[in-house]
Amino acid sequence: MADYSALYADQDTMTDHWWWRPSWHVGTRFYAWHITQEDQAGVHDLAQRYREAVPTFHTLDPVPDEWLHMTMQGVGHVEDINIAALDYVTVRVAERLRSLAPITTSYRRAHISSEALILPPDDPAAFMEVRRAIRAGITDALGECPEPEAGFRPHVSVAYSNAETDAAPLRTALDRAEPTTPSSATYRQVALIRMHRDRRMYEWDTIRAVPLGS
């Protein structure tokens, strides 16, 4: 198995995740592909374990079970993509994902990124393959795919940072909560969502769920 330790190396400090990216503001709606976690009891239990480990850290915004997700690939702003184009994207992505099998993975150790506490899967390469298939489907439909392919780091965020802070006390608290056995999850689909972040949280409606495999 490849060594992904550098990909998930802890950061010494955390910064505010909620700064407004270019073309984002209150009211922005955005289409994206995510792997949502609504049916993953093991992920919920692990996320709750870590949320309970950091309740006094007011620089963190914990993510409720309802909004736990793995970001895969953006498509574009709602006003820039008409329904016919979105439907075609969905069809072509579904064709690409048909050749991939469902993924069974596990999570254990929470890591500290610059803007979030994250749970990396034990086999990031499987999710990278799914993302490549999604990007290929978007390119099939639209002629190009937004966002760079490089730099993707599969993870589920447990809490987002809302201010600059020293990460060392967080690391201590997370280490105390680390479980002795991993939590498992099996993913059989990827969701096309319409999302926003108006309330300092990623919230969405699911447009369509596309299966992994035929």
CB atoms within 10 A of CB 155: 23
Structural domain span for residue 82? 13-17+28-211
Inter-residue contact 120 to 8 (CB < 8 Å): yes
106 lies in a domain?
A: yes
Q: In the structure encoding, which two tokens stand for residue 192, read together? A: 């096309």
Specify the CATH number for the domain of residue 155.
Answer: 3.90.1140.10
Inter-residue contact 6 to 176 (CB < 8 Å): no
pLDDT number for residue 174:
98
23 lies in a domain?
A: no
183 lies in a domain?
A: yes
6 lies in a domain?
A: no
pTM of model > 0.85 = yes
Burial class, 180, CB count within 10 angstroms (exposed 0-12 / middle 13-18 / buried 19+): exposed
pLDDT number for residue 1:
47
7 lies in a domain?
A: no
Compute the distance between CA of residue 96 and CA of residue 13 in angstroms, rounded to an integer: 39
Q: How many domains does the chain have?
A: 1
60 lies in a domain?
A: yes
pLDDT number for residue 214:
74
Task: Evaluate the CA torsion angle 156, 15, 167, 200 in order and state its sign.
Answer: negative
**What is the separation, in whole angstroms, between the first and last Cα of the chain?**
27
104 lies in a domain?
A: yes
116 lies in a domain?
A: yes
CA torsion angle for 63, 68, 70, 74 (degrees, to 10)? -80
pLDDT tens by residue, the chain, 214 residues = 456 778 899 999 999 999 999 999 999 999 999 999 999 999 999 999 999 999 999 999 999 999 999 999 999 999 999 999 999 999 999 999 999 999 999 999 999 999 999 999 999 999 999 999 999 999 999 999 999 999 999 999 999 999 999 999 999 999 999 999 999 999 999 999 999 999 999 999 999 999 999 7
